[in-house]
């Protein structure tokens, strides 16, 4: 029997005009940080939920400035990004109790970068037993709740830690 899995938030991505698509990390007229799933913003870095996650509560940390190569980051940006990377991991531990994390950066299309011209780190929480036949056989990821609910759950933790 074929089981159906629904991920309705992916339809926006599927139907989007990729040629006209703007950078997801750069300012968007009229859209709030909440609408964009940005959990934390400082003058140099931001933390946001990945709208097309590899795993539940998948976060991204990026410089605010549009930068495409690590060598072009300022030291203050590097410091802020690494600080928020560590802080985000601690928040995810408190909020969701993962057993581990994959943390990394995809630089270039052949490395898997979906956003080519604005570098960013991925923080992918992992739980014992979260790898099963779904990704391997069905090429499907199972996310247990809607992204807006995950945002709602994480927001208080980010507010509590301040800027």
Sign (positive or negative) of CA dihedral 17, 18, 24, 29:
negative
Number of H helices, E strands in the chain: 4, 5
Helix (H, G, I), strand (E, B) or coil at 96: helix
Q: How far is CA 63 from CA 55, 56, 111, in A?
A: 22, 23, 20
Which tokens go with 81? 């990004």
Q: How far does CA 141 lie from the centroid of its chain? A: 15
Q: Are 112 and 73 in contact (CB under 8 A)?
A: no
Q: Mind telling me the catalytic residues?
A: 120
């Amino acid at each position: 029997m074929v089981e159906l899995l629904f991920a309705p938030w992916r339809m926006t991505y599927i139907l989007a005009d990729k040629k006209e698509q703007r950078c997801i990390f750069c300012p968007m007229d009229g859209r709030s940080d909440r609408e964009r799933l940005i959990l934390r913003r400082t003058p140099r870095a931001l933390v946001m939920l990945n709208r097309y996650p590899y795993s539940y509560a998948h976060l991204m940390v990026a410089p605010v400035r549009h930068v495409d190569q690590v060598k072009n980051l300022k030291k203050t940006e590097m410091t802020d990004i690494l600080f928020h990377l560590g802080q985000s991991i601690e928040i995810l531990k408190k909020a969701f109790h993962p057993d581990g994390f994959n943390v990394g950066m995809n630089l270039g299309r052949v490395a898997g970068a979906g956003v080519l011209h604005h570098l960013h780190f991925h923080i992918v929480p992992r739980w014992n037993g979260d790898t099963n036949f779904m990704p391997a056989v069905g090429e499907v990821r199972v996310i247990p709740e809607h992204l807006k609910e995950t945002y709602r759950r994480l927001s208080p933790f980010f507010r509590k830690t301040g800027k």
